[in-house]
């Protein structure tokens, strides 16, 4: 249980950094829609994604957004395809995408990924 609290605290502290570029666009009175890839509904990541998005939207009234309940590999593909702006995933999935193996073999190496936080 303590591990979950540590994860939540770290992610809450890193939220402003994760959306810094989006915040700048919103501050210039541009409408911006944030599509946040989380995990399937009912789990901790979906709840955390919703809470983080709510905080970002409250701090940036020029933005709109939604949490997409996708998860893992599909989140990386969603960011790669431009369907998501930011997403949760696991380190091993990022490694597969980076190397272009496993679920990403057909797409090849995906190198335009950025890890904003790691647990």
Using a pLDDT cut of 70, give the percent of the chain over it: 73
Residue 61 lies in a domain: yes
Q: Is residue 112 part of a domain?
A: no
Q: What is the CATH number of the domain that holds 19?
A: 3.40.190.10
Q: Which of 44, 62, 41, 64 is nearest to 53 (CA)?
A: 64
The string of pLDDT tens digits covering residues 39-49 is 888 888 889 89
Angle between the 20-27 and 2-18 helix axes, to the nearest 10 degrees? 40
Range of the domain at 29: 2-104
Residue 41 lies in a domain: yes
Instruction: Judge whether 113 lies within some domain.
Output: no
The pTM (predicted TM-score) of the whole model is: 0.70
- In which residue are the tokens 């939604």 written? 66
Number of domains the chain is built from: 1
Burial class (CB in 10 A: 0-12, 13-18, 19+), 113: middle
Please check whether residue 116 lies inside any domain of the structure.
no
- Kindly state whether residue 93 falls inside one of the protein's structural domains: yes
What single DSSP character describes residue 102?
G
**Is 12 within a domain?**
yes
The pLDDT score that the predictor gives to residue 5 is: 55
Residue 92 lies in a domain: yes
**Per-residue model confidence as pLDDT tens digits over 1-33:** 566 656 655 555 556 655 655 555 555 566 889
């Amino acid at each position: 249980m303590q591990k979950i609290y540590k994860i939540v605290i770290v992610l809450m502290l890193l939220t402003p950094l994760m959306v810094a570029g989006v915040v700048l666009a919103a501050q210039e009175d541009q409408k911006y829609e944030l599509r946040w890839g989380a995990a399937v509904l009912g789990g901790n990541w979906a709840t955390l994604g919703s809470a983080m998005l709510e905080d970002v939207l409250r701090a940036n009234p020029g933005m709109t957004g939604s949490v997409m309940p996708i998860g893992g590999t599909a989140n990386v593909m969603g960011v790669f395809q431009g369907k998501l702006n930011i997403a949760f995933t696991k380190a091993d999935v990022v490694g597969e995408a980076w190397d272009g193996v496993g679920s990403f073999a057909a797409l090849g190496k995906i190198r335009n990924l950025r890890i904003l936080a790691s647990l």
